[in-house]
Structure 1
Amino acid sequence: MHAKRLRTALVTAATGLAVLTVAPPAAQAQQNCVVPGQLLVPVPWSQQLLAPDRVWPLSTGAGQRVAVVSTGITDNPLLAGHIAERANFAPPDTRPSGNPDCAGSGTGVSGIIAAQPSDAAGFHGVAPGAQILSAKVVGDQYPADRNPRGTVAPETLAAGINWAVDRNATVIAVPVITYDDSPALRGAVQRALSRDVVVVAAVGQRAANEPPGLVPYPAGYDGVIGVGSITENGGIAPDSRPTAVDLVAPGAHVITTYPNSGLGTASGTEFATAYVAGAAALVRAHLPHLSTQDVARRLFATATPAPEGTGSASYGYGLVNPYQAVSDEVVAGNPVALPPIVPTTVPPDVAARQAAEDRSDTWALVLAAAGLALVVLVTAIVAFGPRGRRRRWRAGLASVPQDRPEDERPEPPVELFSDRPKRS
């Protein structure tokens, strides 16, 4: 038993990824925060589906600053050296835990975007060359006065977005939502878009008792890329909201970084948002001349179409495709719908004349074929007729020899000069 613990400690020290540690029940109940994750070696299904590493020879997202407006961020070995700046805009907690990311969502989103490859784990981020800007807008728990639960005050979101713009973010991921269309939030989003920043936002999860007609913001604003969540089999996650969806990405039971160390599973549209934000960072690094609108159009044009077709309420343009978004040639401009086909009306007299001409052409072909056959026949008679009469119309080839039984038994030899009379 002691040897097994020693081996575990050595593996942890060598990889920099801690094995899951569980706090004592009393301490865990007191802080109620996400604990460190485990050492998970297999390649997650989401990475097998999207394979963002195929495009790394062209782009790793280097030079991009991706802001994560969420629950904060806690250090993880896979994010070492890629957390550029942090800021806290969350309302004060009544009983603060002291944990930079108690909920763990911000750390998980950041890992999907920029976690570094490791020989000890199959997981890695979409754009490992990118830097993370962390804007904390949620404390140890979501505000109790927000309804439904899991939303944030729009003014708090606006503060986080404005800070990210001031810190020269090139992509802003907003995994948290609000249902309030406030001037402050709308103005912050418009400011980001006018400064050529790509804004990607989650559409959120539906609650069982939520009122109808809720629109998630900032995903509901024009120019913002709204993201829904899919499961491993490609279907829409049961709780993914079919409102303001432009793209979908893996968001059910995905692997990502946990606070402090290790990896674990997570679900929600906030983690699907991270995949789209990472893809946007790859595009911006490879094609820095593209505007915000051009990046969005490229992501839409290269998405894997959904079974329901483009424009589906649940899938939007389809599944984000990081490889094709970077490598494909996309025509500039917006697609234009073709005019409807107007059938041509043919007057009756023209139709009758055309039918007569068609019949005439058919008879001409038939007569030409019959004439050709007659010429071939006459030519054959003239060329081979005399020869046939000379042979009395017998075949010119020698008949095939036939075996006869008597040929196999020769007669006794005949004596030479046997026809002469014998001498006495």
Structure 2
Amino acid sequence: MTRRLSRLVLATAVVALTASLGEGNAVAVVPAPIDVGLVPPKDSTKVEKRRPCKDAVRVPDGPDVPLAQRDLDFRSVWPISRGAGQTVAVIDTGVARHPRLPDLVDGGDLVGTETGTTDCDAHGTLVAGLIAARQVPGSGFSGGAPDARILAIRQSSSAYSPAGQTDQVDNAGNSVGGYGNVATMAAAIRRAADMGATVINISEVACKTAAEGIGSGDRYLGAAVKYAATVKNVVVVAAAGNFGSAECKIQNPAADPLRPGADLWDSVSTIASPAWYDDYVLTVGSVAPDGTASEFSLAGPWVDVAAPGSGLTSLHPTTGDLTNTVYSAQGSAEPVNGTSFAAPYVSATVALVRSRFPQLSAQQVVARIEATAHAPAEGWNPAVGHGVIDPLAAVSADVPPGGAATDGSARSVSIEALPAVAQPDHRPRDFALAAVGTLAALLILGVLASFPLRRKSQSATQRRN
């Protein structure tokens, strides 16, 4: 997470770019230097509800463990850690009360005048369920850290818009709007940190092209994540963002094998915040069921780890059931996919680690999770970072201060030196060779000695004739 620390002191603007480059071009970017004391001004915007709340498909519960939960194998971790004593703040669209979230805490509403336990979008409830839904008999589904507590803060909603403001209309003629921005997100992060959260999950992303720049309000968000991570010792987990969405329109380039030492910060096309505050945020990309990077997962030099982000099941927002499909404001069915839902698996893993190792700092927890991830063949890459998380290894592996994980089979041990190899006895071979050589020499001498005798015999024969 310190790949770009040296560059921060050189930054003089939120985005460093070349003036001649247009939208979509890759340019060098770096966040502005962060003032941890920068607090967003109190938001006095009046909002009003303009769209109906989203509903979701009710899915029958059963003993089958959802694929993503099974792949991460949280059940193998629970004899060691279940996340007890940890408070995970979900800064999202709110988290609806659900029988499987009995310890849900209201952290407040920054959208309207209701509570953090109001969720008109289903999104925050889905996220919270993946983190800390309790086990119940007969159900294969549960959150990754079922003994953790959820602190719900409503920071955004697509159903609300500023009062008096005209909503935009999409290509299909539907009214689109919503409320929540980087400044309100910053306020929510500070609130969560001050309320005692040990983990903060942010499954929301603000994207801009590098040429546009993220905007001056992003300074508040940078200050907030640094405040949480360094002053309050909170692990901040953020989604990488979904490529192809309304905001994250352009994919960032992959690593170039012909330029292995190239700095990917010099070729960014899309900025994602708070993900790009890499020194203070654990950023999560998404992988498909086969372990490859999801097509929709926004890559970037700030991506740290990855987790499953498609085909997921979680808590229904208005009933005590489960769901794997939600409806958009226009009524279309949408599966539970996205980096938004990969991030909560990492937040659950952080809760498991912090419960198991309460003495570790936020930075040490992040290092442990990165070190125990299943790394790509080439090492870190901008799509999945250090690789797919391994919850069991994160709570049980021997991770030295340097961050390299080892296990029992890989640990170095001392062994005695091997005995010196005995020199072979070549005497029988040498004797046999010497004997053969002597016989050969005698034979040759015998043959040579016979030549004069043959000549004498031939001369005597000639005289008789």
TM-score of the superposition, structure 2-length normalised?
A: 0.62
1:255 equivalent to 2:255? Answer no
Give the residue type in structure 1 aligned to 2:357: L
Number of residue pairs aligned between Structure 1 and Structure 2: 315
1:217 equivalent to 2:291? Answer no
The answer to whether the 8 A contact 2:293-2:383 is kept is yes
- How is 1:293-332 mapped onto 2 (pairs within 5 angstroms)? 293-306=363-376, 308-332=377-401
The answer to whether the 8 A contact 1:146-1:153 is kept is no
Which consecutive residues of structure 1, in runs of 5 or more, have no partner in the other structure? 1-28, 336-363, 378-424
Give the residue type in structure 1 aligned to 2:91: V
For 2:435 and 2:363, how far apart are their aligned partners in 1?
72
The answer to whether the 8 A contact 1:283-1:295 is kept is yes
For 1:372 and 1:56, how far apart are their aligned partners in 2?
73
Give the residue type in structure 2 aligned to 1:83: L
* Farther off after superposition, 199-208 or 103-112: 199-208
The answer to whether the 8 A contact 2:284-2:339 is kept is yes
For 1:63 and 1:149, how far apart are their aligned partners in 2?
38
Aligned partner of 2:229 in structure 1 is 193
* Farther off after superposition, 238-247 or 364-373: 364-373
Report the CA distance between 1:31 and its aligned residue. Answer: 2.2
Report the CA distance between 1:374 and its aligned residue. Answer: 6.6
For 1:31 and 1:236, how far apart are their aligned partners in 2?
34
More helix by share: 1
TM-score of the superposition, structure 1-length normalised?
A: 0.68
1:154 equivalent to 2:182? Answer yes
For 1:101 and 1:75, how far apart are their aligned partners in 2?
9
Aligned partner of 1:271 in structure 2 is 341
Pick from 126, 138, 145: which aligns with 2:156?
Answer: 138
- How is 1:3-402 mapped onto 2 (pairs within 5 angstroms)? 31-35=52-56, 37-41=58-62, 42-79=64-101, 81-90=102-111, 100-141=118-159, 152-179=180-207, 180=214, 182-194=218-230, 195-207=232-244, 210-211=249-250, 213-221=269-277, 222-243=279-300, 244-260=302-318, 261-265=320-324, 266-306=336-376, 308-333=377-402, 368=427, 370-371=429-430, 373=432
* Farther off after superposition, 179-188 or 285-294: 179-188
User: Max radius of gyration: which structure?
Assistant: 1
Report the CA distance between 1:99 and its aligned residue. Answer: 8.8
Over 3 Å counting, the alpha-carbon distance change for 1:149 and 1:240 in structure 2 is farther
Report the CA distance between 1:142 and its aligned residue. Answer: 7.4
RMSD over aligned CA atoms reads 3.1
Report the CA distance between 1:102 and its aligned residue. Answer: 1.5
Give the residue type in structure 2 aligned to 1:230: V
For 2:117 and 2:131, how far apart are their aligned partners in 1?
21
Report the CA distance between 1:373 and its aligned residue. Answer: 4.4
Over 3 Å counting, the alpha-carbon distance change for 1:73 and 1:63 in structure 2 is same
Which consecutive residues of structure 2, in runs of 5 or more, have no partner in the other structure? 1-49, 162-166, 171-175, 208-213, 252-268, 325-335, 405-422, 437-465
